Amino acid sequence: MSKRPISDYNEFQKIIGQAQNIVALTGAGVSAESGIPVFRGAGGLWRTHRATDLATPTAFKANPALVWEFYHYRREVAFSCQPNNAHKALAKYEKLCKEQGRQFWVITQNVDGLHKRAGSENILELHGCLEKVICTKCRHIDVNRESPICEALRGRGDPAKADETLPIIPLNELPKCSKCKGLVRPYIVWFGENLDPDVLDKSRDLVETCDLCLVIGTSSVVYPAAMFAPMVAERGKPVAEFNLNEDPFDDGFCFHFSGPCGTTLPKALGVDLQ
């Protein structure tokens, strides 16, 4: 392999065809092609709020109604979007690997659930999922795809308007636990919180034992995912990066494919989505 990542689809297909344990690390760039907004970065505003300021336990404690409006908006967007060809290609390749006795896992930073909807089964969601809620009292976790999640949030959360003419939603009208009726919050790992240790341990195990790593639609700046691909490269195993950037994140990676993931990934994996 050359030291500088190459963009050779034929060479990549030889490598992936021989790989027995493959890990795909995915980020916001995958879902952006489905219309999911990217809130990280300078332009990551919802109304006048920085989205990162709302994604904290402190913000939820101070104003749970506001945080729920933000996440209600995110849920509605995610539920209305469809998996794109990148999601579909990963799901189809996982199925192929299963038939061939090989292992294929997706470790995602995304919370939109589009990998699952595309048909992927081996998924680890590092930061949680918008279709789940967790009770702030009894800690019960529920899958909830109701739209709206509660009647008080119907029509709320539009980032184009501040809903200043509407009253603040009372605490007792916000989403409730199906078991104890306590207040629930989005099942999302917020800033200042630790990742689920079971998910993190499983992710590390996969990264430490894989013989090929795909880095898809992520800038590789969010930890701990940012350290995963370099760990694979340091073991001398091939890493392939797929993103819009012309320049690779790490010259230690073997492959770099620039362009929309929905275009480059199906071609690289050699899957027919027709």
| Per-residue pLDDT at 2 | 45
Question: Do residue 132 and residue 259 come from a single domain?
Answer: no
Q: What CATH number corresponds to the domain at position 30? A: 3.40.50.1220
Q: Which of 72, 87, 115, 127 is catalytic?
A: 127
Instruction: Tokens for 117, please give them.
Output: 């909807």
194 is in an annotated binding site: no
Residue type, 211: D
66 is in an annotated binding site: no
- Whether this model's pTM surpasses 0.85: yes
Q: What CATH number corresponds to the domain at position 136? A: 3.30.1600.10
Classified as helix, coil or strand, 256 is strand
Containing domain of residue 27, as a range? 1-36+83-126+195-274
Question: Do residue 51 and residue 74 come from a single domain?
Answer: yes
Question: Do residue 95 and residue 72 come from a single domain?
Answer: no
Question: Do residue 15 and residue 76 come from a single domain?
Answer: no
User: Quick check: 217 and 261 in contact, CB under 8 A?
Assistant: yes
Question: Do residue 6 and residue 47 come from a single domain?
Answer: no
| Per-residue pLDDT at 242 | 94
Question: Do residue 118 and residue 31 come from a single domain?
Answer: yes
Q: Is the pLDDT of residue 52 over 90?
A: no
Question: Do residue 1 and residue 122 come from a single domain?
Answer: yes
Instruction: Tokens for 27, please give them.
Output: 């980020």
Question: Do residue 17 and residue 87 come from a single domain?
Answer: yes
129 is in an annotated binding site: no
List of long-range contacts for 144-147, beta carbons under 8 Å, 24+ apart: 144/175, 145/79, 147/75, 147/76, 147/79
Question: Do residue 97 and residue 122 come from a single domain?
Answer: yes
Question: Do residue 122 and residue 134 come from a single domain?
Answer: no
Last residue of a domain, one of 140, 170, 188: 188
How much is the average pLDDT of 190-215? 96
pLDDT level of residue 246 (50, 70, 90 thresholds): low
Give the mean pLDDT of the chain.
Answer: 91
Question: Do residue 234 and residue 183 come from a single domain?
Answer: no
What is 105-141 written as a DSSP string?
Answer: EEEE---S-HHHHHT--SEEETTEEEEEEEETTT--E
| Per-residue pLDDT at 161 | 73
pLDDT level of residue 244 (50, 70, 90 thresholds): confident
Last residue of a domain, one of 173, 188, 203: 188
pLDDT level of residue 1 (50, 70, 90 thresholds): very low
CA gap 66, 264 in Å, rounded? 39
* CA 28 vs CA 83, 195, 197, 270: distances in Å: 13, 18, 22, 23
Domains identified in the chain, total number: 2
81 is in an annotated binding site: no
CA gap 167, 161 in Å, rounded? 14
Annotation says 127 is catalytic:
yes
How much is the average pLDDT of 110-132? 97
Last residue of a domain, one of 137, 163, 188: 188
Instruction: Tokens for 53, please give them.
Output: 């300021």
The least confident of 33-47, 196-210, 252-266 is: 33-47
Q: Is the pLDDT of residue 42 over 80?
A: no
CA gap 177, 184 in Å, rounded? 6
Longest dimension (CA), the chain: 62
pLDDT level of residue 51 (50, 70, 90 thresholds): confident
218 is in an annotated binding site: yes
Taking only the tens place, the pLDDT of each residue in 131-167 is 999 999 999 999 999 999 999 999 998 887 766 677 8
* CA 123 vs CA 87, 105, 107, 110: distances in Å: 12, 6, 6, 11
43 is in an annotated binding site: no
18 is in an annotated binding site: no
Question: Do residue 112 and residue 216 come from a single domain?
Answer: yes
pLDDT level of residue 102 (50, 70, 90 thresholds): very high
